[in-house]
Structure 1
């Protein structure tokens, strides 16, 4: 029997994300998430759809935050 520990978990609130970039490699790509606390890099394969969904979520979150800021 092989015992494994709990998988690593982390999160970055969408409101803290400033930009998202990616760099293609030979067999994978690196996703760079620039946020308030720095930069987080994630290695991925076939991440185009994930990156587009993440960008859309961040954009939607900004619009909602801006609308909330202007509501009395």
Structure 2
């Protein structure tokens, strides 16, 4: 699982990528992040390689990145 933060000025993105073998962990990280930071939106894509982009204002995207890293470490 790979989690990257992209600062785009006023907005920010958190990109979470993983393979289908980490499907449950990927979904848990995304769902937990979206429930803890409701000011962001997500877009999912991919089949074997899953990619989720969580975007919003830079401060909220940074919080989403922190929560995603914390949840992925558990």
TM-score by length of 1: 0.50
Matched positions, count: 43
**1:31 touches 1:44 (CA, 8 Å); kept in 2?**
no
Higher Cα radius of gyration? 1
What are the within-5 Å matches in structure 2 for residues 5-16 of structure 1? none
State the shift of 1:51 in Å: 1.2
Structure 1 unaligned regions, length at least 5: 1-17, 61-72
Distance in 2, Cα, partners of 1:58 & 1:27 = 26
- Indicate the structure with greater strand content: 2
Shift of residue 25 of structure 1?
0.7
Higher helix share: 2
Corresponding residue SS for 1:21: strand
Q: What value does the CA root-mean-square deviation take over the aligned residues? A: 1.4
After TM superposition, list the pairs within 5 Å mapping 1:1-72 onto structure 2: 18-36=1-19, 37-45=49-57, 46=59, 47-60=61-74
Distance of 2:50 and 2:72 partners within structure 1: 16
Write out per-residue CA displacement over residues 4-29 of structure 1, whole angstroms, 9 at most, x where no aligned residue.
xxxxxxxxxxxxxx011011112101
TM-score with structure 2 setting the length? 0.49
Distance 1:26 1:50 in 2: 16
